[in-house]
Structure 1
Amino acid sequence: MVCGRGRGFRPGTPVFAHRRRGGLSVPGRKVVGMETSTEDVEPSATAEGVAAGPRERAAELPVVATAIPPASLSPSRASDFMQCPLLYRFRVIDRLPEKPSEAATRGTLVHAVLERLFDAPAAERTAPRAKSLIPGQWDRLRESRPEIRELFADDPEGERLAGWLAEAERLVERWFTLEDPTRLEPAERELFVEAELDSGLRLRGIIDRVDVAPTGEVRIVDYKTGKAPRPEYAEGALFQMKFYALVVWRLKNVVPRRLQLVYLGSGEVLTYDPVLADLERVERKLLALWEAIRTATESGDWRPRPTKLCGWCDHQAHCPEFGGTPPPYPLPVRAPEAQPGAQGRMGPD
């Protein structure tokens, strides 16, 4: 695990299917596909809430009805459940609305700018060129997501918006101190990947950037507009990257050579070189997580897990920890077992 400027990957021949679903076939697992995304967000909770098919259940257990478990996991939704099972329910099953935040929206804007910059010839990928993309991408973002306009509805003079856009410019400019886009030719940008494991669990997500070296080695890159975590929290930050590496391995039968997190907020780069054992461990963790989600879905037992992050949650009005009441559970549930197991904490390796 190294912090510093990312090095060692030069332009190479792309190995990923570009802007189309790949007809990939890997023995022993079902491959769904890879395609370049035109969105700047994770696959929606709606997509994750579709049926996953019938599930085996004990004949002697009295069943009132069986809830339909969510069909897939993305890094964000997996992290939601590990953070707070009730938060996962609110987002995936109840699909409660959430207000856009300035920080998250700025992150979406910066991601869009960095992706679009690679449309330009290498010599023109400069900081001034990148910053010039911000107004157009901001307009496009507001058009595609009207709710974002609420962020600055109380700013008639535009002063707060101007400061917000200036911070986006600073983040974009800082990227040029960490990577040199004139020497990069990404194999993929905003790549949607999806793979189905033998268990039936479908993993999906959007990778910010995939680089391929002339040797064929793969690097997965993710941009973060926040600050790099302290060393003791680095493993948690790498969970998302190991998730992506697992999907790429299942799709291509190739272990990515490097995972790279680019923190624009603090101007740091966190890298990790995974081995096969890392990905196998992540897969076991996700399977256990998936089983916990299925159990909670069938029982309707989604317990809140209070942390310091609760102060940022949009769903306090529905959370028992804040005196709220969750909405009526929208799915049928099976009768509880005589000795239900507790939902234990599950965190990244």
Structure 2
Amino acid sequence: MTVIAPPSRPPALSPSRASDFLQCPLLFRLRTVDRLPEPASAAATRGTLVHSVLERLYDAPAGERTPAAAQELLPVEWEKLQEADPRVKELFAPGGDAESEGVENWLDGAGRLVSTYFTLEDPNRLEPAERELKVETQLPDGPLLRGIVDRLDVKPDDGALRVVDYKTGRSPSPRFEGKVLFQLRFYGLVLWRERGVVPKMLQLVYLGDGQVLRAEPTPEQLEGAERKVRWVWSEIERAARAGKWEARPSKLCDWCAHRALCPAFGGTPPQIPEGAVELRLGIA
């Protein structure tokens, strides 16, 4: 019998896990409850690397945050990433996600994304208040919300907050903007509940095509985000208590690491380990 270790932190809902459930409840279950391992993804790993470079860039004083300095950080952060997660070395092995690309071309792609950043913002004119900020808040009669904000800027004169998130993909078409803004409104909601201040600006920086998406949230919009979060959580509770995690096929299935286990493709999900739902979701 599989023994489930108690979580190091209380169960919580993050924007990425909420998005997983909205995309496919079975995917949410396999990632959050079963915690099945997934092979390294070339795109996700490149995103992690670029985020690390942009975080470390602000360790340098203003005036020294140059494109050349950022490029010099790439191999340093790449070495750290390989030490922290040995799976990324499998990317370039036979059958790996980046086998055909090769490590040098893959790193060049990361370098181009970093270069694009300098066309969108001048880091020498910014002094972030926080980087990779862990935020959380407990909703009354609801779930604990948790996430990591890439960058939080605080305006010196009036304390206005700007939430910044870096994306290494391309910007969405207008009809999908609401979906991507959900993540930032989630963070805005958490900051509002914890600090009592509605962020002035939510900003998505798309390095894939050099676009910036900005939105000024209102209390009504953040309350709407809370209602959506509560609805998602109620659906998670319903699925957990019924033991029914629906597979929801879509075009995204082509990139799913668990497709072989999906009933929609002739697979059979594993049995949920005893006690996993309560330990990992806090749902009895």
Q: TM-score, normalization: structure 1?
A: 0.74
Please name the residue that 1:336 is paired with: none
Greater C-alpha Rg: 1
Q: Tell me the equivalent position of 2:134.
A: 192
Counterpart residue number, 2:13: 73
Runs of 4+ residues over 4 Å off in structure 1: 46-50
SS in 2 for 1:302: coil
Distance across 1 between alignment mates of 2:112 and 2:21 = 33
Letter in structure 2 aligned against 1:294: E
Q: CA separation in 1, counterparts of 2:142 and 2:186?
A: 16
2 CA distance for matches of 1:49 and 1:188? 22
Distance 2:100 2:64 in 1: 31
- State the alpha-carbon separation in 1 of the partners of residues 64 and 121 from structure 2: 15
1:171 to 113, 120, 123: 113
* Greater relative CO, 1 or 2 (CA 8 Å, sep 6+): 1
Alpha-carbon distance between aligned partners in 1 of 2:183 and 2:275, rounded to the nearest angstrom: 32
Cα deviation code 1:220-278 (max 9, x no counterpart): 00000000000111111101000000000010010000000000000000000000000
Indicate the SS of the match to 2:162: strand
Residue aligning to 1:138: 78
Q: Does residue 1:153 correspond to 2:93, yes or no?
A: yes
Distance 1:326 1:158, change over 3 A: closer
SS of equivalent to 1:176: helix
- Identify the residue that residue 124 of structure 1 maps to in structure 2: 64
Contact 1:49 1:92 in 2 (8 A): no
Question: 1:48·1:72 contact (CA, 8 Å) conserved in 2?
Answer: no
Q: Deviations over 1:15-53 (max 9, x none)?
A: xxxxxxxxxxxxxxxxxxxxxxxxxxxxxxx85995xxx
Which residue of 1 is the match for residue 55 of structure 2? Answer: 115
Question: Structure 1 residues 158, 289: closer, same or farther in 2, change over 3 A?
Answer: closer
Q: CA RMSD in A?
A: 1.9
CA contact (8 A) 2:142 2:230 kept: no
State how many pairs are aligned: 267
Q: 2:190 aligned with 1:250, yes or no?
A: no
SS for the counterpart of 2:119 is coil
* SS of corresponding position for 1:286: helix
The equivalent residue for 2:233 is 290
More displaced 10-residue stretch of structure 1: 193-202 or 104-113: 193-202
Say which SS state the counterpart of residue 140 (structure 1) adopts: helix
- Where do residues 1-349 of structure 1 align in structure 2 (5 Å cutoff)? 47=7, 71-154=11-94, 160-214=102-156, 215-331=158-274
2:102 alignment partner, SS class = helix
Given that 1:221 and 1:260 are in contact with CA atoms closer than 8 Å, whether structure 2 keeps it comes out as yes
Partner SS state of residue 171, structure 2: coil
Paired residue secondary structure (1:266): coil
Which has the larger helix fraction?
2
Distance 1:329 1:230 in 2: 38
Offset at residue 139 of structure 1 (A): 0.3
CA distance in 2 between partners of 1:163 and 1:182 (Å): 29
**Paired AA for residue 14 in structure 2:** S
In 1, Cα distance between equivalents of 2:100 and 2:253: 30
**Structure 1 position 72, deviation (Å):** 1.3
How far apart are the structure 1 equivalents of 2:63 and 2:258? 47
Distance in 2 between the 1:148 and 1:159 partners?
14
SS at match of 1:255: coil
Q: Is the 8 A contact 1:122 1:183 kept in 2?
A: yes
Equivalent AA in structure 2 for residue 122 of structure 1: A
* In 2, Cα distance between equivalents of 1:158 and 1:296: 40
* Aligned partner of residue 211 in structure 1, secondary structure: strand
Q: Which runs of 5+ in 1 are unaligned?
A: 1-45, 51-70, 334-349
3-state secondary structure, aligned to 1:73: coil
Distance 1:241 1:159 in 2: 32
Distance in 2, matches of 1:292 and 1:237, equals: 20
Identity in percent: 57
C-alpha contact 2:23 2:248 (8 A) present in aligned 1: yes
1:329 CA displacement: 2.5
TM score, norm. by length of structure 2: 0.90
The question of whether the paired residues in 2 share the 8 Å contact of 1:224 and 1:261 is answered with yes
